Amino acid sequence: MLKRKMLRDLMENKLAYLACLVIIVIGLTTYTSISIVMENLYRAKDNFYADARFADGFARVSGMPAAHLDRLARIEGIGEIEGRQVKDVRVLGLDGERNVHLRLVSLPFIPGEYERPINAPLLVDGSPLNEEGRELWLSPDFFAARELKLGGEISLLVEGRAVIFTVAGTAQSPEFVYALRTAQEMFPMPETFGIAYLPASTMKTLFREQDRVNDLVFLLEPGYTYAAVEEKLRPRLEPYGLISIFSREDQVSHAILTMELQGLEGSATAMPLLFLSIAGIILYTLLKRMVEQQRGQIGTLKAFGYTNGELILHYLSHALLLGLVGGVVGGLSGIWLSFSFTEMYAQFYQLPGLGRELSYGYLWRGMLLSLVFCALAGYFGCRPSLRLQPAEAMRPAAPPPGRRTWLELWTFYWFLLTVQGKMATRNLFRSRQRSAFTLIGVMFAFSMMATTWYFRAITDFLIFDQFTRVRTHDLQVAFSRPLSLPEVERELKAFPGIKRLEPMLEVPATLKHRWQEEDTIILGLPRDAYLYNILTDTGQRVDPPTGGVVLAEYLAAQLRAPPGTELILESYWLEDPVRVAVVGVIPQHIGTNAYMEIHALNGLLGRGSLATAALLAMDETYIPLLQERYRETEAVASMEASEALLDKVRELMQSFGSMQYIFAVFGFIIGFAIIYNSSIVSLSERQRELASLRVMGMTSGEVLQVLTFEQWLLSCAGMLAGIPFTIILMHTLSRAMGSELFSIPVIVEVDMFIVALAGTVFSILAAQWMLSRRVRRLSLLDVLKERD
């Protein structure tokens, strides 16, 4: 019988319980789906790394005889070391708006069943490589994006001549799970960049270097740390022109995957916690009110001999039922959502074996989580009234004492209020706990919507910043090797349509300050450069310095090098380390660089006047002409038109757009549920009072105002509190998400708060609209009855 009573109790406030249920479902859907995706990613990653023998350390040199590898293998702590040639080449015949590139990676031997090189590409489809013919394996995403065929041919521009290869298969290496051509790119672009693997013997025949390698990978001996090995390896590699040496942690693909996994881990904890807490609070207030209201019934049941335990179980069962239904629905929808989530991740992260895995573990765990939250909320909600003796319980509770509040000390505010307003103001303090919950809830809803807009603003800002303020050139021509600056100028200036040409010199370097050191690329730019702008946080252009370097904020922070600090600069372009002073720090949002004036940088290097790229401002109509003219030039590595790149980035950004709207909807639901719940509870507490007002001649609109005035007071306070809370949240997110690749600016825009305000107000209005229906149904006759 109590079960039936429970169901009827729930039906009485079905909308409030439903809102609560929706929040539980959202919490568990996020928990289950993110956890499963995370587990899938971790499992796929760990298996893949182990199968493919992912390297612990990486080094790039300008060239080293392959025969010298043996000596390095003897270094204490190195388990295995392999040398490879890694070269970027252009693909012929596939060019669209952008040039298409492949990164050729030589394989010391063909991976077999029992023996695999370090970073072994695992064959996904096709046949093993034949050392005799010109065969290669391609990365699967490139292969798919370009709609190539197994056994088909692909033409590459190698050292100025076209070489035809046969595509023997597709293969994936752990090094290129997230394949970026340069660290400056934000997303893998499989249409224009892929990886190709070919036998070292084939590679040898293509390039002049023959028996030299330019890329080393190594595995550590168990018990040794990377740092200890690097210390020994670094001096041994310096004679070969060490460009960079880094651990697995700093390997771009691995770093991005790790960052993503950490982000997921955070979301898998924070999101369900947030939603379940809110649902818990709502459930707590609803049950508390119901138990208060049913005092008489509880007294009667106790008088009949029901034990406290049975009654607690009865009231707990309301919460548990909600927890159970929420758990099942949330868990199942989480599993279902995890399929598409996993597929989405599979588009960005090339992890063989990453697939939809059914995991009921998280379903159970999620249900347990939901039940525990609901049980706690239910227990604390119903405990107080159950402690009463039956006779006491059957008597009506003492009337709530009226009290003056501190707000009345603001005589001016108090004077402005109507009596209805005064009543509402005092009501805020009548149930302080609930008022506090409402305020915090509105604050959350507001901040969630503001943050949604913030992410929109960030992506817009990053794109805008990068393409309209930092890189204002129309075309960037990158050279395959440093070229003489005067020659470049002479060559290009003659080309029609070029309005301005600015050379750029990119020098890979290591910057050291005390024991901190960072690998970076120093960009040398002309003094009056305006096709690539160095901007301060307020958007002021800074001239590239002739004495000293300007550092990106992230770099300066890593090196603990504020302006005025003297750094040691090492580079394989330099014979000996030199000292440079930090003369400025700027917020670089995409990538991390150091900047110098190009002639000063050339002077420092002492190799004459060099450039590695040219930035062009030019008449758009001439861009295809120029691309055509230099397409086959060996010295030109790539020609990137900004407009085409921008389009591509915009397209990718759009796929993230839907996520933002989902969060906005979550914010709306939270706002609605919090306000609706608190008003349902107020309404039920004060049914008699409000009905008397109706009897005395107030319209239902006027009665509603008493309730809504109260809510608006709380909501305004909540939204006001939401502004600093959002800013704190933004700073936290910015710090948490910032890395070598991105620095996320904190953008405080009025827009953001206006949108959040509109969204929150809308959710409050929706809740009040539902409330107004209940106020209209308020029974006037109830006031004449005795108190229940």
Q: Which residues bind another protein (CB under 8 A)?
A: 399-403, 418-420, 422-423, 426-427, 430, 688-689, 692-700, 702, 780-781, 783-784, 786-787
Collapsed DSSP state (helix, strand, coil) of residue 642: helix
Q: What is the DSSP letter of 351?
A: -
User: Min. distance of Cβ 735 from another protein in angstroms?
Assistant: 45
CA distance between the termini of the chain? 22
CA dist 607 and 782 (Å) reads 95
CA-to-CA separations, 497 to 39, 474, 477, 618, 636, in angstroms, rounded: 54, 11, 15, 5, 19
Contacting residues for 166 by C-beta, under 8 A, at least 6 apart: 133, 134, 135, 136, 151, 152, 153, 154
Q: Which is nearer to another protein, 295 or 302 (CB)?
A: 295
Burial of 412 by CB count in 10 Å (0-12 exposed, 13-18 middle, 19+ buried)?
A: exposed
Contacting residues for 698 by C-beta, under 8 A, at least 6 apart: none
User: What burial letters (b/e) apply to 522-534, b meaning 16+ CB within 10 Å?
Assistant: bbbbbeebebbbb
CA-to-CA separations, 490 to 109, 220, 240, 499, 730, in angstroms, rounded: 45, 50, 33, 14, 48
Q: Which is nearer to another protein, 40 or 427 (CB)?
A: 427
Q: Which is nearer to another protein, 90 or 434 (CB)?
A: 434
Q: Which is nearer to another protein, 30 or 431 (CB)?
A: 431
Q: How many helices (H) and strands (E) does the chain have?
A: 22, 22
Q: Which is nearer to another protein, 8 or 149 (CB)?
A: 8
**Chain center to CA of 374:** 30
Q: Which residue is listed with tokens 């003659």?
A: 494
User: Min. distance of Cβ 11 from another protein in angstroms?
Assistant: 17
User: Min. distance of Cβ 425 from another protein in angstroms?
Assistant: 9
User: Min. distance of Cβ 706 from another protein in angstroms?
Assistant: 9
Q: Which is nearer to another protein, 452 or 679 (CB)?
A: 679
Q: Which is nearer to another protein, 423 or 440 (CB)?
A: 423
**Chain center to CA of 788:** 54
Q: Which is nearer to another protein, 490 or 787 (CB)?
A: 787
Partners of residue 523 on adjacent β-strands: 506, 595
**Chain center to CA of 406:** 44
R_g over Cα of the chain? 33
User: Min. distance of Cβ 369 from another protein in angstroms?
Assistant: 39
Q: Which is nearer to another protein, 221 or 408 (CB)?
A: 408
CA dist 152 and 166 (Å) reads 6
Under 8 Å between Cβ of 169 and 127: yes
User: Min. distance of Cβ 403 from another protein in angstroms?
Assistant: 7
User: Min. distance of Cβ 442 from another protein in angstroms?
Assistant: 22
User: Min. distance of Cβ 289 from another protein in angstroms?
Assistant: 17
Contacting residues for 100 by C-beta, under 8 A, at least 6 apart: 90, 91, 94, 146, 191, 192, 193
Q: Which is nearer to another protein, 205 or 699 (CB)?
A: 699
Q: Which residue is listed with tokens 């881990």?
A: 265
Q: Which is nearer to another protein, 11 or 696 (CB)?
A: 696
Under 8 Å between Cβ of 625 and 82: no
User: Min. distance of Cβ 404 from another protein in angstroms?
Assistant: 8
Q: Which is nearer to another protein, 422 or 631 (CB)?
A: 422
User: Min. distance of Cβ 766 from another protein in angstroms?
Assistant: 24
User: Min. distance of Cβ 298 from another protein in angstroms?
Assistant: 22
User: Min. distance of Cβ 406 from another protein in angstroms?
Assistant: 14
User: What burial letters (b/e) apply to 4-43, b meaning 16+ CB within 10 Å?
Assistant: eebeebbeebebbbebbbbbbbbbbbbbbbbbbbbbbbeb
User: Min. distance of Cβ 695 from another protein in angstroms?
Assistant: 5
User: Min. distance of Cβ 776 from another protein in angstroms?
Assistant: 8
Q: Which is nearer to another protein, 566 or 702 (CB)?
A: 702
User: What burial letters (b/e) apply to 288-298, b meaning 16+ CB within 10 Å?
Assistant: bbbbbbbbeeb
Contacting residues for 717 by C-beta, under 8 A, at least 6 apart: 439
CA-to-CA separations, 307 to 244, 310, 379, 387, in angstroms, rounded: 74, 5, 15, 11
User: Min. distance of Cβ 781 from another protein in angstroms?
Assistant: 6
Partners of residue 218 on adjacent β-strands: 57, 81
Q: Which is nearer to another protein, 204 or 422 (CB)?
A: 422
Q: Which is nearer to another protein, 227 or 419 (CB)?
A: 419
User: Min. distance of Cβ 2 from another protein in angstroms?
Assistant: 22
Q: Which is nearer to another protein, 375 or 783 (CB)?
A: 783
CA-to-CA separations, 551 to 222, 467, 611, 747, in angstroms, rounded: 38, 20, 20, 21
CA dist 647 and 627 (Å) reads 18
